[in-house]
Amino acid sequence: MRLAILAPVAWRTPPRHYGPWEQIASNIAEGLVKKGLDVTLFATGDSITAGKLDAICEKGYEEDRSQDAKVLECLHISNLMEKASEFDIIHNNFDFLPLTYSALIKTPIVTTIHGFSSQKIIPVYKKYNSSSHYVSISNADRSPELKYLATVYNGINVDEFEFNPVPEDYLLYFGRIHHDKGTAEAIDIAKKSGHKLIIAGIIQDERYYKEKIEPRLGDQVIYIGNAGPEKRSELLGKAMALLHPINFNEPFGLSVAEAMLCGTPVIAFNKGAMPELIRHGETGFLVNDVYEATEAIQLIGSISRLNCHQWALSQFSGDKMVDDYLALYQKILS
């Protein structure tokens, strides 16, 4: 089986720091290579893969702002599509734009929908319902207008994360600094509970950071900037709990799965895919507001960190994800 994995070109694959779609594209590609399959990763030229790499740019447009994002995307996608006949399956991790080629080529395209940036993009997906194969990353993140082949949960490279049975006395917020992700709410929870909070992530909304976050930083609430892969396991594993007070229907939540893999329970607002990721009362708590989250912190000691680890390992490992996708490829080809 000859496979083409199409990653975005905003960041390197895998990303140095932020880049969840690039991270999953990498996990898929590397997992397939480990199984002995012929894999070509279409990504930036500085990407790292054990398979073949095909690139039209050296760096992503978020890392080299001299480039035009749309131009790069068009050159990148067309590069793969003009070589489509060389592959048995194309696995698209690049949103809706590659679908515009799907009726023009014979190679089947599997598209993992990593979330909907807007309802306005659904007509593109809807147009290609019959000529593509859609995979959701959670049952919660599905449009009733689309036909889905399956749900495949995002998979983590478990070798990059270490189980820690004995945490330190701090709470962790790990994600984009943005209202959607609930950074300010995490601070509220920490302040009300009296615990130290470490915040790690890129500042996606500068105004939000300046107005809602920066004035509240101090000895109790510390912002350490963006944390790359080398810091991620340690930060997640040593936390007594991960706070995930999201203000939107998040389609998955990699940091939630990663935290549990390290043994760290998660306190999350009950939105989006959170009920699929977290077993309430067993691997964390699903809450509705800051008050309930503060109450849940008092119960965090009742959660078995080993149970968190075992749950994440059984549901969100890279091996499971790759096996699930392989089964779908074979189903399509047969």
In this structure, the answer to whether residues 216 and 140 fall within a common structural domain is no
Let me know whether 293 and 202 are in one domain. yes
Q: How far apart are CA 280 and CA 264, in angstroms?
A: 14
The number of beta carbons lying within 10 Å of the beta carbon of residue 60 is 26
Give pLDDT, residue 219: 96
Q: Output the CA angle 175-180-181, nearest 5 degrees.
A: 25
Q: Looking at the structure, do residues 167 and 151 belong to the same domain, yes or no?
A: no
**H or E element, residue 138:** none
Classify residue 147 as left (phi > 0), alpha (psi -120 to 50) or beta: beta
* The token pair that represents 136 in the structure block: 């959701």
CB-neighbour burial class of residue 144 (10 A; exposed 0-12, middle 13-18, buried 19+): exposed
- Are 168 and 101 found together in one domain? no
> What stretches in the chain show pLDDT beneath 50?
none
Q: Check whether residue 183 and residue 276 sit in a common domain.
A: yes
Residues 6 and 147 in one domain: yes
Pick from 251, 245, 196, 188: nearest CA to 224: 196
Give me the domain span that covers residue 253.
Answer: 158-315
pLDDT at 228: 78
Question: Percentage helix, strand, coil, to 5, in the chain?
Answer: 40, 15, 45
pLDDT at 227: 87
pLDDT of residue 196: 98
pLDDT of residue 278: 98
CA distance 37 to 56: 23
- pTM, rounded to two decimals: 0.92
Q: Are residues 48 and 187 in the same domain?
A: no
Q: Are residues 66 and 148 in the same domain?
A: yes
pLDDT at 152: 98
Q: What is the CATH number of the domain that holds 295?
A: 3.40.50.2000
pLDDT score recorded for residue 166: 96
Q: 200-258, pLDDT tens digit by residue?
A: 999 999 999 999 999 999 999 999 998 877 799 999 999 999 999 999 999 999 999 99
Q: What local confidence, expressed as pLDDT, does residue 243 receive? A: 98
Q: Are residues 119 and 166 in the same domain?
A: no
26 plus 169 within the same structural domain: no
